[in-house]
Amino acid sequence: MLVGNDLLDKARSLSNRPEDEIARGCGYVGPSGRVLRKSFYKALVEAKGYKVPSTASSGGSGTRGRQAEYRTRVHGNGNLLIGHAYTRRLGLEPGQEFRIELNRDSGSICLLPLGQDTDSLKPLADDVSPE
């Protein structure tokens, strides 16, 4: 992948071609052959002398992805989905089994691990997100 003045020179020489061909010609192609447009455009901006804010050191796009909203809804088929963010936060592992306890008065659902004494369970009051 070209950078700096080499990138600008090559991009100028290919300026009569489509953007994808310019990016390909400058080496901005992923292992699967997909054009890496974002990397190409970022390199062009930096080559022009503009400072681009750095992304997270993890090499990602700097975003953390979707955050847990602490809300869900009943799907059209009647299922109620609890996502990975919540099960991970509770330390649940694939294959664990629970007894489901329904409280009609409050509309709450409790998951009680099978094979454990319910008195030994710790409340997660400090872990629960405010409404």
pLDDT value, residue 126: 47
The pLDDT tens digits of the residues spanning 59-86 come to: 555 566 677 788 889 999 999 998 888 8
CA distances from 100 to 45, 78, 103, 113 (A): 55, 16, 10, 9
pTM of the model: 0.43
Dist. CA 41–CA 17, nearest whole Å: 16
Dist. CA 57–CA 40, nearest whole Å: 19
